[in-house]
Structure 1
Amino acid sequence: MKKHQMNSGRRAVLRLAAALGATATVGVLAADRFGAPEPATGAAPAPQGAPGTGSGGARPAPASGPQAAAAARLRSTAYRLQPMTAYAPPAFRRAVPPVRQRPFLSMSGVGRSMVLTFDDGPDPRYTPAILETLRRYECRAMFFVCGEMAVDNPDLLRQMAEDGHVVGNHSWSHPLIPKLRPSRIREELGSTSEVVERTLGTAPLWYRAPYGAWNRHSFEIGAELGMEPLAWTVDTLDWKEPGTGSIVRRVLDGAAPGAVVLSHDAGGNRSQSVAALRRYLPELLDAGYRITVPRR
């Protein structure tokens, strides 16, 4: 994505965010999410990136090429759920009650553990290098994938699963969720879950709203699809392409027990994200941090 396109799109998102008055909300990912699936208890709100300040940056609608073809498949019956008003996920797929009103933000009570997350992929230009680095250090991470990318890169999805990573749902086309009707939110999340399930045999158990912009409908629909919402505590701002050193510093400065780190493996030029991971991951391990993923 060219720089002027990214900046223009981001300004548009910021204007839209201001008009919506949308802000993200946060929660705490309790230690039992890394063991028994019990609901998390009280969490103090904390500031988080408003739409346009994280989770992928602006993503203009594709006019041609693979993404346009993927979008066309979304409209087809092959990669679309049954009519959304009739869709009822099996009871065992529902998220652990009660339905959350804010996303999990971090872990608690798990010692010196951190979670690394990567949004917007999979992208054949950058995701393989991230997987290779994680494999080298025997670490697992979370990948919040977009359906329009996942449908064209099933081999990368399978590699994520084979390496023990958690594949989460980041919507189909990376829209601003609060701007959508509930039926469209269901379609964005449901179609992405379907692609992941068809590829891996299991549907995602976690999801993340694009731009960190959540609303009540997204929590309810995510729960119906059997998913829990996860935000972040450390934003690398790698979508701004600030330089490899800046990304490394943000991760190391934000390192703390229970931290969840937001990075990207698609949505633009992510070569800095790839290079930064190679630098900060061994430093985190040398500092005694365990890189882990939640389980349910």
Structure 2
Amino acid sequence: MKQLMIVVIGICLFSVGTTYEEAFAEESYGWNFKPAKNNETPTTEEQYLEWLDKYDGYFLGNANEKELYVTFDSGYENGTMPDLLDTLKEKQVPAAFFVTGHYLESEPELIKRMANEGHIVANHSWSHPHFPDLSDELIIQELKKVEDHYYALTGNPMHYVRPPRGTFNERTLDVSKKYGYHHIFWSFAYVDWNTDDQKGKAYAYEKIMDRVHPGAILLLHSVSTDNRDALGEVIDQLKAEGYTFKSLDELTGKHSASPIISGQTSEPQFGLQPFVTWINP
């Protein structure tokens, strides 16, 4: 009887979703894109474009319009977020913050401030794992734990996910889509997350202005003091050049956009250059 029970349990484990052995054997991909010169629109792998279309993914808005989408990855707080939020509020710019479980647990008031001021708070997983290494069930657990904590803080749902570390495969995209998420990648990023190697306001300003392009989804890390110090001037200059800052809800057109920084607060083409692969720490 004991042996029979073990066999039955084993069958159940291997018949529900994807097993660890199957997941570990799968190929993994890191998001990449080829930066373009002269503020032209970058592109990415043809396979990635097919998957984005199939699994509700975006890395770019309308490349024919001077529109921009500001997004931040926020794994932890080091004192920069209040200033970033102050700047976004002053400049009337909406943003999306992809947060982890650590941020939700350690900074509930900042999370509520993001939501109250009209920003999107999105899912970056609970523990920032490598999704291709996880079973379907564990991926859903990672997503659900984040959205449950966010709902408890704000009463709001989540609609967007950015795979942690920028790593994925077709199965992980499929799992997240079926669970109700749109995938948000990016068409601009630079190495801004190393807090021990910040290069100053002028460096961040030049990096952003050099590669910004129509339809850009900008990936910035909120721990960067360079980003914090440069953000106001970046926004002012881009507006002067005719750019409009939009919400991800306007990009997808599938959810009602939040009031954009209302000021009210309340409580609860491939060339010779190589692709650049960005793996978020």
Task: Please give the range of the TM-score, normalised by the shorter of the 2 chains.
Answer: 0.5 to 0.7
* Number of the residue aligned with 2:39: none
TM-aligned CA deviation for residue 204 of structure 1: 1.0
Give the match's secondary structure for 2:236: helix
Higher strand share: 2
Matching residue within 104, 112, 115 for 1:161: 115
Letter in 2 for 1:258: G
Instruction: Point out where structure 2 has 5 or more consecutive residues left out of the alignment.
Output: 1-25, 34-41, 46-51, 250-254, 256-281
Question: How many residue pairs get matched?
Answer: 209
Change (3 A) 1:214 1:103: farther
Q: Structure 1: how far apart are the matches of 2:243 and 2:235?
A: 9
Moved more, 118-127 or 137-146: 118-127
Change (3 A) 1:201 1:110: farther
Change (3 A) 1:110 1:197: farther
Q: Structure 2: how far apart are the matches of 1:25 and 1:216?
A: 15
Alpha-carbon contact 1:206-1:229 (below 8 Å) kept: yes
Matching residue within 167, 171, 175 for 2:125: 171
Change (3 A) 1:274 1:168: same
Residues 119-150 of structure 1 deviation map (CA, whole Å, 9 limit, x = unaligned): 02462611111100101111111111112211
Q: Structure 1: how far apart are the matches of 2:132 and 2:43?
A: 19
* Number of the residue aligned with 2:277: none
Alpha-carbon contact 2:192-2:220 (below 8 Å) kept: yes
Alpha-carbon contact 2:55-2:182 (below 8 Å) kept: no
Give the match's secondary structure for 2:239: helix
* Number of the residue aligned with 2:207: 250
* Number of the residue aligned with 1:227: 181
Q: CA RMSD in A?
A: 2.6
> Greater CA radius of gyration, 1 or 2?
2
Mapping of residues 43-54 of structure 1, within 5 Å: 46=44
Give the match's secondary structure for 1:118: strand
Q: Structure 1: how far apart are the matches of 2:161 and 2:179?
A: 10
Kindly, what percent of the aligned residue pairs are identical? 25
Change (3 A) 1:249 1:118: same
Q: Structure 1: how far apart are the matches of 2:178 and 2:27?
A: 25
Alpha-carbon contact 1:119-1:265 (below 8 Å) kept: yes
TM-aligned CA deviation for residue 165 of structure 1: 0.7
Matching residue within 242, 245, 259 for 2:216: 259
Alpha-carbon contact 2:27-2:169 (below 8 Å) kept: no
Residues 61-104 of structure 1 deviation map (CA, whole Å, 9 limit, x = unaligned): xxxxxxxxxxxxxxxxxxxxxxxxxxxxxxxxxxxxx9834731
Alpha-carbon contact 1:206-1:230 (below 8 Å) kept: yes
Return the TM-score normalized by structure 1: 0.64
Residues 35-59 of structure 1 deviation map (CA, whole Å, 9 limit, x = unaligned): xxxxxxxxx9606xxxxxxxxxxxx
Matching residue within 208, 213, 236 for 1:282: 236
Letter in 2 for 1:129: D
Change (3 A) 1:276 1:194: same
Matching residue within 117, 120, 123 for 2:71: 117
TM-aligned CA deviation for residue 288 of structure 1: 1.4
Alpha-carbon contact 1:206-1:228 (below 8 Å) kept: yes
Q: Higher relative contact order by CA 8 Å / sep ≥ 6: 1 or 2? A: 2
TM-aligned CA deviation for residue 224 of structure 1: 3.2
Return the TM-score normalized by structure 2: 0.67
Give the match's secondary structure for 2:157: coil
Q: Structure 2: how far apart are the matches of 1:233 and 1:197?
A: 29
* Number of the residue aligned with 1:85: none
TM-aligned CA deviation for residue 265 of structure 1: 1.3
Instruction: Point out where structure 1 has 5 or more consecutive residues left out of the alignment.
Output: 1-18, 27-43, 48-97
* Number of the residue aligned with 1:138: 92
TM-aligned CA deviation for residue 246 of structure 1: 2.5
Residues 195-234 of structure 1 deviation map (CA, whole Å, 9 limit, x = unaligned): 1122121221111011211223332332233210000000
* Number of the residue aligned with 2:139: 185
TM-aligned CA deviation for residue 109 of structure 1: 6.2
Q: Structure 2: how far apart are the matches of 1:153 and 1:216?
A: 33
TM-aligned CA deviation for residue 156 of structure 1: 1.0
Alpha-carbon contact 1:208-1:229 (below 8 Å) kept: yes
Q: Structure 1: how far apart are the matches of 2:189 and 2:63?
A: 22
